[in-house]
Amino acid sequence: MLVASPLRSQLLPVGDIPTHVFRSAESRLGDVMLVDAETEQTFTIGDIITTSTRLAAGLSQAGHGGQVISVFDNTNLRCVYVYYAALLIGGTYQSLGTDIDASQLRDRIQRSATSVVFTTRKYVAQLKEATLGMDLAMYVLDHGYCKCRTLCAAPESLAQCLSFVHQLLDDPMFTPVRITNSSDAMSRPAYLAYVAGSPAPLTLSHYGMLSTHQISRPGPTAQSPMRTVVSAIPFANAHGIGNIAHYPMLSGSRVVQLANADPQTCLAAIEKWKPSTLLATYDALASILAITTRKGNKLVVGDHEYDTSSLNVIFVHELRGCIAESIRGKVAQLFYARLVELYGFMETGLIAGVITEYPRIAGSVGILCPNVTARVTEADRDVEDGCYGEILVSTPRMATSSDVASYFNTGDYGTVTQSGVVIVKARVADLIRLPQGIFAPADIESRIFEHPAVVDCAAVADTSQTDDGCVVRPCVFVVTRSGCSHAAESLVYTLRAEYPGIYTRFTDHIPRCFRGEPDRAALRAMLAGQA
pLDDT means per 10 residues, the chain with 531 residues, are 76 71 84 90 91 87 86 87 90 84 88 87 88 85 49 37 46 80 71 61 59 48 69 74 78 86 93 90 85 91 92 74 63 83 58 55 74 86 92 70 61 89 87 89 87 87 71 88 79 87 88 75 84 51
Other residues' Cβ atoms within 10 Å of the Cβ of residue 475? 25
Rounded CA separation 421/6 (Å): 9
Structural element, H or E, at residue 505 = strand 503-506
pLDDT at 252: 78
Rounded CA separation 328/212 (Å): 28
Rounded CA separation 384/448 (Å): 30
> Per residue in 4-27, is it b (16+ CB within 10 Å) or e — as a string?
bbebebeebbebbbbbbbbebbee
pLDDT at 375: 92
pLDDT at 186: 66
For the chain, how many residues are written?
531
Rounded CA separation 29/38 (Å): 24
* Helix-helix angle 321-335:282-291, to 10 degrees: 60
pLDDT at 256: 93
pLDDT at 403: 46
Q: Are the C-beta atoms of residues 56 and 174 closer than 8 Å to each other?
A: yes
Q: Are the C-beta atoms of residues 20 and 386 closer than 8 Å to each other?
A: no
Sign of the Cα torsion 218, 221, 225, 228 reads positive
* Structural domains of the chain, with CATH: 44-205 (3.40.50.980), 212-352 (3.40.50.980), 372-429 (2.30.38.10), 431-530 (3.30.300.30)
Sign of the Cα torsion 338, 250, 239, 32 reads negative
Structural element, H or E, at residue 349 = helix 346-352
Rounded CA separation 356/350 (Å): 11
pTM equals: 0.74
